[in-house]
Structure 1
Amino acid sequence: MTQFITQKDQIIAQMRAELLATATEDRYYTEENITDCKAHLEAFLAKLEKADQATDKQTYLAEAIQTLCEQLSTFNNPEEEEMREYLWGFLYLGYTKELTDFIREAALVYGFKPIPTVIDLYYCRVEIGGFDCFSVVLGGIEEENFVSLEYDPNTHQFYYDENPYGDPFPLPLYNVQVKPDYSELSFEVLSRDKLQHFCFLAQYPSDKVWIKAIYDLHTQKIVLNRREKHWSTITLGTEKGKIIELRTTQYDNEGDIIPSAEDGGGFSVFTMGINEENKLQSRNEIADTKILFEKTFFRDAREEEWRLYELQHIAIQKGVVTITSTDVVRTRDENWQLITGTIASISLSYELKNSDFVLNFIQEVINNLKEQ
């Protein structure tokens, strides 16, 4: 208990010191907020001391964690009906790491076991932009069963994004581990008032490449170079070991976008459904029609006629991506219904420009894909 009293006192002292060092007009909390925080932390420790007396110790500790997180998440009176996101407290403003460390360490010492969530990897997606943008989504087959991880180039670590549908809100990861063969990635996070343990299980060879890249970036302080003007921005996605998305935007030496219809422009490999009306339909689209099947396509933006080519194979060597079609091509009529035709297979090549780490990662993913 002594170590946590000391840790609590250090947090409170830091809050007071930073309050005094901040101009009055720039302060976002008060001495009263600090006093309340101190009382909440002390009450939490008092509850932990009684944990062994509880009939269900894990439930008791989980409720203690939840209560403290709710108290520290807002400066507002919890009984007032106002939106919490406009009233963030210490847990979300300025002291996320310090308070999360305190809560997690104390709970574990008193015997709490993080709530487990095991996810069989179904899809992986990354957006690679500027040097500070390496945003990864790992998900299971259930739509809501996913996590979003944001890479921070200053700390050289990933953070858990608690708000994946809006502005990122990063929370620290703990106990990040992998199996030696990269078949499993696990970590702990304090999110939504719960101390959770996520475990992702690779299902396909390409999943292991994703796991290795995340672990290496998080643990080895690999530097993602600041984006150069001519580097590509890249979105890559896999599902069930197959590619479902590879989109790039290309730039010239001045940093201006090269139109995809021009030589040196970007390209898109994407997956779409074909519905019962023989029209394209995204799986995320709200529609009355049913998707019959999905295909992965690409276009040659330099062609005047609108055509969709079915992807048969994708390869990469020394940063040059080559996409090859099947013998099926689809055009559309004035009602947007698809017309299926037969062609000789075509291949298109595009150069990706980015850091060695990014290019090697993409190459390893592509080299370990299942055939389309």
Structure 2
Amino acid sequence: MPVRVMQSFRAPRATTNPYITMLDHALAASDEVEHLRFDWVQALRGDYDAFHWHWPEGKLHGSSWWKTAGKVALTTALWLRLRASRRIAVVRTVHNVELPDDGRMRRWLLARIYRDADLLIALNSETELDERPSALIPHGHYRSWYAEQPRAPRVPGRVGAFGGVRRYKNVGVLVDAYAAAASREPGLSLEIGGRPSTPQLARALEERVAELDGVDLRLEFLEDGELVRLATQAELIVLAYRFMHNSGSVLAALSLDRPVLVPRNDVNEALAREVGDAWVRMYDDELTGEALLDALEVARTIPERARPDLARRDWERTATDHAAAYRRAIAARRSRS
């Protein structure tokens, strides 16, 4: 008999995080789960076996102060309902390692939502969890997501970067490393695509590349077709983040059969062991032109039609693993009751 599980997300839209959209599709196709998308009335009054939180901070903000206050009140009521229930299990996927800096009241509520989960789901083996029940369910790949998009011919010497442009993503450092690499190897080019978080960041980046040859900035949200074109034209995708834990951009690049250059940490070292170290190159400390050229040299050794091994990240397997996690959480809640 399938378990009846409500997710914290509604029906996906075109701008929804692809992870959520693909999880939604995978759970809807599963015979082991009766998949319920979020609805306030059903969440607060309906009958279901488990509730699954993703980014609960998204429930705490509205377009005005009074809508925000209403959402905080509703989310508090939902937390109290789940906390008091003897039979509804609570599952939380740990997408981020820290709570957002979101004001005292909201952080207080987020901390209690996290604390009261019966089972935690980690997306990688390096996420630190406490002693309560947990499950490791790797972030699924994006191969099916991008399957209908045409690939572009690879451009020799092209380096790419995509995703929202944020300060912690160190795009300026990537530009400096590219400048150093291009001074040693003429013919390199760089394309950066993504919407900046602030106009100031956009202007600073435009000023930084003004005197450089071969740089193309696309400072806007990339539709899927543009993202696929950018990624598949590149010989190498570079993500020069200061901090990286669960990166959808890394998996998007690998799903499009493009190697990545990323900061060295335990998460990325584990990913390199999983898919092959030619596909995941790492640099120490800050990205340099030398590290960029070294990664390009390795990328050029990968055969044209080779693909990284993403078998552990199949979405049918992801749905099966989620169903098993839900059953464990339900058993844990009801045994305590």
The question of a shared fold, defined as TM-score above 0.5 by the shorter chain, is answered with: no
Normalising TM by the smaller chain, what interval?
under 0.3
Structure with greater proportional strand content = 1
TM-score for both structures, normalised by structure 2: 0.24
Greater relative contact order (Cα < 8 A, sep 6+):
2
